Structure 1
């Protein structure tokens, strides 16, 4: 192991075990979905709610992204479809399209800031903030899980580019990739 990896300020971890569902729905239908699933739901746009591996992000007025254990996706869909059948909505399993990368460590914010146009300071992008943005030339969904822990959701085809970009942006801090 190289010296810079031993003192890594950033750990990059692919999260292939996470499934992803998108829900497009009004507030009323989204609340119904939250009630059916018995899970916390973000009320405000660009916010997230739930636990690290069972989380819902509100990306727009009618757009939600759920990140859950991949093994639970089919069961969630089976519970939601009949409950939402009489309501205008779109529920799509996007697990094959999106992949998740998790970053942790004291220097993650600085590395992300090198390639992301958002103000990622604590006062602007606090824990449980979540939004669509760019990282280099790739569109991502960025979710702040904790003070020093972040998650990106990115199109699977762009994941190698994003990983390489993160290694370059975090080179001065040391980036270590952990196996999933």
Structure 2
């Protein structure tokens, strides 16, 4: 079998950590222009902006870098009506895309989750080896790992070793 999986570092993206009470999600959703997901692991997207629900009161918002000010301003405007915490974490993490026929198997070398059960368009906070990551399934054979910048060399190194093993048939 030919190894056809690729690992690539993605361009920098805007990221926000959003925290709020459930009763404020309607106003925040209206301000963002799309509904914040209501179930942990569920994602929502509108154009180039997305939201992933990571916990009972926590979302990861992503967008192109040039759209960060738009998100920040729209949520600042609604703050008196819907109290929340919005933290820009854009410089904290990088994104790594793993795609191809063996993407799921490659990630499984260091991720304990059953990735076959992760639906397309959903994401989870998990670990990769010993590193906390946010893992999104973007397609049947495509995943995105968001990892803290300081741990990226470790994660990329593990992925390189796993790729070499797959390529050699080990």
TM-score (norm 2): 0.89
- Name 2:111's counterpart in structure 1: 116
- Name 1:20's counterpart in structure 2: 15
2:137 to 126, 136, 144: 144
- Contact 2:49–2:64, Cα closer than 8 Å, also in 1: yes
Rounded Cα–Cα distance in structure 2 between residues aligned with 1:127 and 1:32: 27
Rounded Cα–Cα distance in structure 2 between residues aligned with 1:11 and 1:94: 26
**1:170 match: secondary structure:** helix
Rounded Cα–Cα distance in structure 1 between residues aligned with 2:48 and 2:158: 25
**1:58 match: secondary structure:** strand
Are 1:92 and 2:121 an aligned pair? no
Rounded Cα–Cα distance in structure 1 between residues aligned with 2:141 and 2:44: 17
Comparing 76-85 with 163-172, greater Cα deviation is found at 163-172
Shift of 1:17: 3.0
Aligned length: 166
- Name 2:45's counterpart in structure 1: 50
Shift of 1:54: 2.4
Shift of 1:36: 0.8
Shift of 1:88: 3.1
Query: What 5-or-longer segments of structure 1 have no aligned partner?
Result: 1-6, 175-180
Rounded Cα–Cα distance in structure 2 between residues aligned with 1:26 and 1:110: 37
**1:172 match: secondary structure:** helix
Rounded Cα–Cα distance in structure 1 between residues aligned with 2:110 and 2:60: 23
- Name 1:172's counterpart in structure 2: 165
Task: Let me know the Cα RMSD of the aligned residues.
Answer: 1.8
- Contact 1:18–1:70, Cα closer than 8 Å, also in 2: yes
Rounded Cα–Cα distance in structure 2 between residues aligned with 1:40 and 1:163: 34
TM-score (norm 1): 0.85
Query: What 5-or-longer segments of structure 2 have no aligned partner?
Result: none
Change (3 A) 1:152 1:52: farther
Rounded Cα–Cα distance in structure 1 between residues aligned with 2:91 and 2:166: 32
